[in-house]
């Protein structure tokens, strides 16, 4: 993303002028994606106009619980997050990596990269935690020794209209992870929705030069200091109302020292190993490869599909699976997410969106399990110190 030549002050766009934003994006060749209501949940789909957004809908979330609730206003973004994450746009659930065609001689193959043209998407409604998740996945796919061409092509032209969070979800803990509720970078345009009894407006911040170009096609005026202060207070209120909290100080070391804690087994007694948490997580990137050939043996394709470290087959090597128990798989997921990622990518793999808590059918709460593991480590240290004092 190219930042604007000079930071521009926020402007105000009315609800009635929002269709102009959609039109401007489509005029640039973008397919507009955003949140809508489908099957009793917030889903990300192609949008024709702002009327397709979840007008007047909010959500109630807790461990293993999700439902949409009617708001008392006509907010377009009055929900927290739904079961889907935006990683599906840049890291699709299934894609072709390359294809091979047998040469006329019949003795060898011509291998070619996938010729699937990357879609040109503009996404509306990306939250701050999701922007951080996108940045984290970017480190995984783009900053290592091997750049992923599929991810790179899809990410390159992605236009992002983020939305600052006007309220926290019941399972959100982005403040603990320092990933929200307000975004300061990573977007082309950022909206703060101010839905008041006498008006419905959006404070708009420009994050890139192309964002500023799109904004020129949308009627707007400079935001007043009072309006900017109203947006700041809204975000401060959201930050104070997080549904969950997680202490991250020394967490990496605590988890690395808790490999043999009996609490892992207690969690495994509840865990169904269903992989819901990894499917809804905006940063998980486990995948499996599948080679598909035609019956004549002339063409072959290598496909990549989402997988999960919770499946028994994921760690299968010769002779069996490395992690044969649910205990070992849950421990691997949590310690890798909150500790191993820091070693590999320089950041935690968790952004505090709370999806893994909400969509766990067993209502396993990541933040509660971390507290239990910390408590176990504290008891172990206290017991060890007591033994040393007695010996002395």
Say if CB 31 and CB 121 are below 8 A apart. yes
Q: 16: which DSSP letter?
A: G
- pLDDT in 10s for each residue of the chain, 392 residues: 666 655 789 999 999 999 999 999 999 999 999 999 999 999 999 999 999 999 999 999 999 999 999 999 999 999 999 999 999 999 999 999 999 998 888 778 888 887 778 889 999 999 999 999 999 999 999 998 889 999 999 999 999 999 999 999 999 999 999 999 999 999 999 999 999 999 999 999 999 999 999 999 999 999 999 999 999 999 999 999 999 999 999 999 999 999 999 999 999 999 999 999 999 999 999 999 999 999 988 899 999 999 999 999 999 988 888 999 999 999 999 999 999 999 999 999 999 999 999 999 999 999 999 999 999 866 665 555 555 555 55
Spatial separation of the C-alpha atoms in residues 358 and 353, rounded to whole Å: 10
> To which H or E segment does residue 31 belong?
strand 31-38
Spatial separation of the C-alpha atoms in residues 20 and 16, rounded to whole Å: 9
Q: What is the pLDDT of residue 183?
A: 96
This prediction's pTM: 0.92
Spatial separation of the C-alpha atoms in residues 86 and 78, rounded to whole Å: 18
* Domain edges within the chain: 11-240, 251-391
Spatial separation of the C-alpha atoms in residues 306 and 198, rounded to whole Å: 46
Q: What is the pLDDT of residue 378?
A: 62
Spatial separation of the C-alpha atoms in residues 390 and 130, rounded to whole Å: 51
* Tokens encoding 209: 């030069």
Say if CB 36 and CB 52 are below 8 A apart. yes
User: Tokens 């309220």 appear where?
Assistant: 167
Is residue 312 classed as helix, strand or coil in its secondary structure? coil
User: Tokens 């050939």 appear where?
Assistant: 293
């Amino acid at each position: 993303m190219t930042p604007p030549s000079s930071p521009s002050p926020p402007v105000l766009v009315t609800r009635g002028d929002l269709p102009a934003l959609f039109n401007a994006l489509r005029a640039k060749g973008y397919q507009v994606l955003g949140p809508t209501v489908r099957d009793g949940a917030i889903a990300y789909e192609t949008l024709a106009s702002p009327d397709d957004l979840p007008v007047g809908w909010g959500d109630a979330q807790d461990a293993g619980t999700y439902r949409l609730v009617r708001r008392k206003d006509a907010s377009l973004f009055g929900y927290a997050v739904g079961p889907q994450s935006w990683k599906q746009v840049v890291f699709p659930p299934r894609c072709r990596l390359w294809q091979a065609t047998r040469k006329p001689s019949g003795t060898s193959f011509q291998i070619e990269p996938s010729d699937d043209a990357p879609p040109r998407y503009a996404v509306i409604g990306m939250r701050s935690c999701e922007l951080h998740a996108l940045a984290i996945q970017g480190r995984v796919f783009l900053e290592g020794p091997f750049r992923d061409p599929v991810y790179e092509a899809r990410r390159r032209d992605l236009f992002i209209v983020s939305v600052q969070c006007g309220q926290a979800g019941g399972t959100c803990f982005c403040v603990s992870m320092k990933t929200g509720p307000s975004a300061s970078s990573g977007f082309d345009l950022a909206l703060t929705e101010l839905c008041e009894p006498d008006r419905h407006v959006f404070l708009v911040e420009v994050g890139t030069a192309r964002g500023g170009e799109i904004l020129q096609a949308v009627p707007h005026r400079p935001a007043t200091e009072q309006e900017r202060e109203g947006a700041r207070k809204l975000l401060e209120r959201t930050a104070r109302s997080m549904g969950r909290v997680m202490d991250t100080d020394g967490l990496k070391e605590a988890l690395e020292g808790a490999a043999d804690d009996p609490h892992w087994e207690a969690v495994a007694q509840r865990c169904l190993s269903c992989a819901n948490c990894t499917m809804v997580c905006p940063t998980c990137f486990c995948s499996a490869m599948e080679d598909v050939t035609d019956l004549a043996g002339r063409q072959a394709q290598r496909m990549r599909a989402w997988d999960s470290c919770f499946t028994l087959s994921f760690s299968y090597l010769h002779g069996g699976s490395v992690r044969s128990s649910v205990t070992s798989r849950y421990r691997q997921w949590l310690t890798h997410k909150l500790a191993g990622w820091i070693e590999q990518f320089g950041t935690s793999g968790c952004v505090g969106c709370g999806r893994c808590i909400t969509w766990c059918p067993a209502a396993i709460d990541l933040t509660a399990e971390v507290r239990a593991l910390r408590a176990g480590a504290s008891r172990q240290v206290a017991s060890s110190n007591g033994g040393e004092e007695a010996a002395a």
